[in-house]
């Protein structure tokens, strides 16, 4: 068997991990002949153990229930390896919806007793910003697909979070306010001063929610509030593989 060039893991503890797996496979399978996606030998695996995580070069953390994912990760011995993967080893990782919450350094509207965060992304994420499942919606978003500005991405928001604040190094040492949980500090981790890039915000058509930040990138971490795996469009998966996984491995 040919050894893969890149192994992409999908955290498969709870949530829409199978949909992400299918989208990644489709993005690779439909790549233009001779492109970087076409010429790279990818392996897509489901991650449920520290050993499987250790074999991955990049990781997707899917949407689902962030509290459930963090509890299962803690009970299966995956939480600390995930923090090492993201914050110390700084391998490429993409979190969608619940995954964005878990990757955030802070989360507001946390449940009583809080929840464990992986951390690494220097933002405060507000859970369930848009309300209950009945307030779920779709909208067209501008995303970084060069040459395809006339073909916006239809994003699906289901009990979605938003990025409510981009944090500074001073925020990292300030007292935690009520209703906010913070990822724990780690040995050998320095505050990453890589600038946070806002990839997309809600458009004016969303009324009072217009301008809310729903996609960000910082170094090895990419986070989206919405569920790209619940649409037939695989452009964002292809972009992440090309720009965040292959692009980072080439540096």
Q: Considering 122, 229, 237, 244, which one is annotated as catalytic? A: 229
Three-class DSSP labels, 115-177: CCCCCCEEEEEECCCCCCHHHCEEEEECCCCCCCCCCCEEEEECCCCEEEEECCHHHHHCCCC
Q: Considering 23, 97, 125, 164, which one is annotated as catalytic? A: 97
Known catalytic membership, residue 97: yes
Beta strands 42-47; 180-182: pairing state? unpaired
Known catalytic membership, residue 227: yes
Nearest CA to 118 out of 99, 138, 141, 92 is that of 99
Q: Give yes or no for a contact between 84 and 209, defined as CB atoms under 8 angstroms apart.
A: no
Q: Considering 20, 23, 122, 227, which one is annotated as catalytic? A: 227
Q: What is the C-alpha separation between 160 and 214, in angstroms, rounded?
A: 9
Q: Give yes or no for a contact between 103 and 86, defined as CB atoms under 8 angstroms apart.
A: yes
Q: Which are the catalytic amino acids? A: 97, 227, 229
């Amino acid at each position: 068997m040919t050894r893969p060039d890149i192994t992409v893991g999908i955290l498969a503890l709870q949530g829409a991990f199978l949909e992400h797996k299918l989208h990644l496979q489709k993005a690779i399978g439909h790549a233009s002949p001779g492109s970087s996606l076409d010429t790279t030998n990818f392996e897509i695996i489901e991650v449920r153990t520290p050993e499987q995580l250790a074999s991955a070069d990049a990781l997707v953390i899917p949407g689902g229930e962030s509290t459930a994912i963090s509890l299962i990760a803690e009970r299966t011995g995956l939480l600390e390896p995930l923090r090492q993967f993201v914050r110390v080893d700084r391998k490429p990782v993409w979190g969608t919806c619940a995954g964005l919450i878990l990757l955030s350094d802070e989360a507001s509207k946390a449940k009583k007793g809080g929840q464990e965060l992986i951390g690494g992304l220097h933002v405060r994420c507000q859970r369930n910003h848009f309300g209950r499942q009945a307030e779920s919606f779709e909208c067209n978003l501008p995303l970084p697909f060069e040459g395809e500005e006339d073909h916006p991405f239809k994003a699906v928001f289901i009990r979605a979070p938003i990025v409510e604040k981009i944090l500074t190094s001073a925020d990292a040492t300030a007292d935690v306010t009520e209703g906010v949980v913070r990822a724990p500090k780690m040995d050998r981790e320095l505050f990453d001063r890589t600038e946070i890039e806002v990839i997309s915000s809600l458009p004016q058509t969303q009324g009072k929610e217009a301008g809310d930040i729903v996609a960000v990138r910082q170094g090895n971490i990419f986070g989206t509030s919405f569920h790209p795996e619940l649409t037939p469009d695989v452009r964002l998966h292809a972009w992440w593989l090309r720009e965040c996984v292959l692009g980072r491995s080439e540096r």
